Amino acid sequence: MRPFTLNTTRIPLIAIVLLVSGCSLLRDTWSGPQQRLSGLLEHRGDAFVLTQCGSDHAQPVNASNSLNEVFAQAAQPGQRVIFVDMLGQVDRSERITSGEVLRMQSQGRGCSDHSGDGAQWIALQYKPAWRAALAANGLTRSDAERGYPAQPVVTEQSADGSLNARSLQGDELELWLYPQACQDLVTGDYFHMSATLLVDGERFTGCAYQGRQTAPR
């Protein structure tokens, strides 16, 4: 009987081929850390592309079920392009995998709206019109008539994820933020949080979204 001999010279070569193939697959599917992405989301056929603010390059989007659902809710009949502010991952081919949608708006200033850059949270309502911003310098608010200076506040986070900020002086002012999705009844705009603003006992309800300012730890 002829003895069986193993050709060991081919094993390293095979291993190298497999390793290179694996690296190629990883390079194509690798995604970086989750990041915040804002821009114009366009529905093209059965797919989405995102043109980020400050760019003219449309990136393909692997849309989650939640992105499809929010677009169906927030877009006006026949509307194919809408402003979106969301979390997502970008792979090396610049393809985006969508995550949580923070807001989707057919109204407002879109990429020109920088009000959230200097705030931890933004709460708003279109009718009656009011807006509140929680930032490091306190709580500011505005209505259809005027804006009001920032008031120092004390904040408290509840176990259910809701956040309360109440004034320490001046007007009796209190803002509640709840981890419940919110859709504006007038415009159909979508936000990932709900809000209640109390001003001297008067109650205003609205929606809210996370700003870009990092909250102190």
- Same domain, yes or no: 118 and 101: no
Of 43, 73, 105, which one is at a domain's C-terminal end? 105
- Same domain, yes or no: 206 and 131: yes
- Same domain, yes or no: 42 and 127: no
- Same domain, yes or no: 74 and 126: no
Asked whether residue 198 is domain-assigned, the answer is: yes
Asked whether residue 18 is domain-assigned, the answer is: no
- Amino acid 13: pLDDT: 41
CATH number at residue 92: 2.40.50
Please give, one letter per residue, the 3-state secondary structure of the chain. CCCCCCCCCHHHHHHHHHHHHHHHHHHHHCECCCEEEEEEEEEECCEEEEEECCCCCEEEEECCHHHHHHHHHHCCCCCCEEEEEEEEEEECCCCEEEEEEEEEECCCCHHHCCCCCCCCEEEEECCCCEEEEEECCEEEEEECCCEEEEECEEEEECCCCCEEEEECCCCCEEEEEECCCEECCCCCCEECEEEEEEECCEEEEEEEEECCCCCCC
Domain count, the chain: 2
User: 23-45 pLDDT, tens per residue?
Assistant: 444 444 555 689 999 999 999 98
Of 58, 85, 105, which one is at a domain's C-terminal end? 105
91 lies in which domain range?
Answer: 35-105
Tell me what the pLDDT averaged over the chain comes to: 86
User: 108-135 pLDDT, tens per residue?
Assistant: 788 998 878 889 999 999 999 999 999 9
Where residue 107 falls among pLDDT bands split at 50, 70, 90? confident
pLDDT score of 170 more than 50? yes
Asked whether residue 5 is domain-assigned, the answer is: no
User: 51-86 pLDDT, tens per residue?
Assistant: 999 999 999 999 999 999 999 999 999 999 999 999
Q: What is the pTM of this model?
A: 0.82
- Amino acid 10: pLDDT: 47
Of 52, 76, 105, which one is at a domain's C-terminal end? 105
More confident residue, 14 or 214: 214
